């Protein structure tokens, strides 16, 4: 199947009452069926409104939607019984209360994940029923202490629950809310007999989310699983690019290329054979010097657009410690800096979308700069 994709989407229609509305079709009854382009740049709620609520919870996603996000992002890992759930990593001691649960003390283990030794509790060692007894906690309590007020309140959601939320909120608000799942550690999960691709595509198919015009992007830091997915589905695919290191499937295959190689014109041309967009760390677009100050922008956005790839950058966070020194306010690393200036910079460079921990700020600046 062809992976050629225009940056702006064509009109679509709602396939079935259970589906998330097409990204190109209005959900307001007065305008349903009329061609509409997606907002640009897209605001993708990074793990939900994770700047305000514990990440990857239905409440974080719900708040992001209220704040105007166009897409909500669930990172996907597998349970022992093959159910896809939203967690940043399969090791969950930092995002749930599992370490405080005596009944699961014997599940603590040390594993090698993508070549790195990791000790903790892992989703693949829990059935969905067991995992559902756990409660989410704030992953960055020192950075976002106010989020800890919600520790213990929310369950770990399944992919289906995230889709259900996006669907119901799309209908309630009269606008399309998309989903932007990331497959986490796909080579590892394949190696333990719990591949992510088949249950992901099956879930999308059950929800009538199969077309290029549906409000779905699938992203990954690995390449082999995206190339596999390009043969399994027509929904849009996004190759994530880190600022250093290599895709783990390259490590396994002995491919010497790293992410910086994939960010060159030759690498982008290769990605365009199977993907529809790139998701680079924002430092690949506007680098920083050793002191954290901004340098001149690179040609990455221009190079990607020439290859007919959209560019969705990550991650935009309001706290000083995540901002370049040019945009920090005061000396407190956890205090808010001038995130507006960062958005204005990247919007001005022609970005097609961005991942934001504080979606309200991204939406507000987008509205002000149109």
The whole-angstrom separation of Cα 331 and Cα 313 is: 26
**Contact between 357 and 317 (Cβ < 8 Å):** yes
pTM over 0.85: yes
**Contact between 313 and 348 (Cβ < 8 Å):** no
Q: The tokens of 324 are what? A: 């370049």
Q: At what angle do helices 197-206 and 159-173 cross, to 10 degrees?
A: 30
The whole-angstrom separation of Cα 137 and Cα 21 is: 32
**Contact between 243 and 283 (Cβ < 8 Å):** yes
The pLDDT value recorded for residue 37 is 73
Listed by start position, the domains of the chain span 42-90+156-369
**Three-state DSSP class for 354?**
strand
Question: For residue 266, what pLDDT band results from cuts at 50, 70 and 90?
Answer: very high
- What's the average model confidence in pLDDT over 317-329? 98
Which residues, including other chains, have CB under 8 Å from residue 168's CB and lie 6 or more apart? none
> If you write DSSP's letter for every residue of 192-224 in order, what string do you get?
TT--SHHHHHHHHHHTT--STTBSBEEEES-SH
**Choice among 25-29, 119-123, 130-134, 266-270 with the minimum mean pLDDT:** 25-29
Q: What is the separation, in whole angstroms, between the first and last Cα of the chain?
A: 36
The whole-angstrom separation of Cα 181 and Cα 68 is: 18
Percent of the chain with pLDDT over 70: 90
Question: For residue 19, what pLDDT band results from cuts at 50, 70 and 90?
Answer: low
CATH architecture, domain defined by 42-90+156-369? Alpha-Beta Barrel (3.20)
- What's the average model confidence in pLDDT over 78-85? 98
The whole-angstrom separation of Cα 137 and Cα 88 is: 12
How far, in Å, are 89, 179, 279 from residue 315 at the CA level? 17, 17, 10
The whole-angstrom separation of Cα 249 and Cα 259 is: 12
The pLDDT value recorded for residue 26 is 39
The whole-angstrom separation of Cα 161 and Cα 168 is: 10
The pLDDT value recorded for residue 10 is 30
pLDDT reading at 32 higher than 80: no
**Three-state DSSP class for 168?**
helix
What CA dihedral angle connects 263, 264, 265 and 267, to 10 degrees?
Answer: -70
Pairing verdict, β 277-280 and 310-316: parallel
pLDDT in tens, 97-147: 999 999 999 999 999 999 999 999 999 999 999 999 999 999 999 999 999
- CA–CA–CA angle 175, 176, 182 (5° rounding): 150
Q: The tokens of 231 are what? A: 């043969």
The whole-angstrom separation of Cα 153 and Cα 59 is: 10
- The residue behind tokens 């640009």 is 40
pLDDT in tens, 173-218: 999 999 999 999 999 999 999 999 999 999 999 999 999 999 999 9
pLDDT reading at 93 higher than 80: yes
pLDDT in tens, 273-296: 999 999 999 999 999 999 999 999
The pLDDT value recorded for residue 8 is 33
């Amino acid at each position: 199947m062809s992976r050629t994709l225009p940056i702006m989407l064509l009109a679509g229609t709602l396939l079935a009452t259970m589906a998330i509305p097409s990204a190109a079709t209005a959900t307001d009854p007065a305008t349903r069926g009329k061609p509409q382009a997606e907002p640009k740049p897209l605001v993708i709620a990074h793990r939900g409104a994770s700047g305000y609520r514990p990440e990857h919870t239905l409440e974080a996603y719900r708040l992001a939607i209220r704040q105007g996000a166009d897409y909500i992002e669930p990172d996907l890992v597998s349970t022992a019984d093959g159910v896809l759930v939203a967690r940043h990593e399969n090791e969950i001691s930092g995002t749930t209360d599992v370490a405080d649960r005596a009944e699961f003390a014997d599940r603590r283990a040390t594993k090698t994940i993508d070549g790195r030794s990791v000790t903790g509790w892992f989703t693949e060692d829990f059935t969905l029923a067991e995992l559902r007894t756990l409660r989410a906690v704030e992953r960055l309590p020192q950075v976002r202490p106010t989020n800890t007020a919600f520790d213990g309140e929310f369950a770990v959601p399944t992919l289906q629950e995230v889709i259900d939320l996006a669907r119901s909120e799309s209908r309630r608000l009269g606008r399309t809310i998309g989903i932007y799942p990331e497959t986490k550690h796909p080579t590892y999960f394949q190696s333990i007999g719990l591949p992510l691709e088949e249950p992901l595509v099956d879930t999308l198919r059950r929800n009538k989310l199969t077309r290029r015009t549906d409000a779905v992007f699938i992203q990954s830091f690995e390449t082999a699983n995206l190339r596999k997915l390009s043969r399994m589905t027509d929904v849009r695919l996004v190759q994530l690019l880190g600022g250093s290191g290599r895709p783990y499937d390259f490590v396994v295959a002995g491919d010497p290329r790293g992410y910086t190689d994939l960010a060159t014109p030759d690498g982008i041309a290769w990605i365009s054979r199977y993907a529809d967009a790139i998701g680079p760390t924002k430092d690949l677009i506007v680098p920083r010097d050793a002191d954290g100050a901004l340098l001149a922008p690179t040609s990455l956005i221009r190079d990607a657009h020439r290859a007919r790839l959209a560019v969705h950058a990550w991650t935009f966070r309001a706290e000083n410690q995540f901002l370049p020194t040019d945009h920090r306010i005061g000396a407190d690393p956890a205090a808010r800096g001038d995130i507006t200036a960062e958005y204005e910079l990247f919007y001005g460079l022609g970005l097609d979308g961005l991942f934001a921990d504080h979606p309200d700020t991204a939406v507000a600046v987008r509205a002000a700069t149109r």
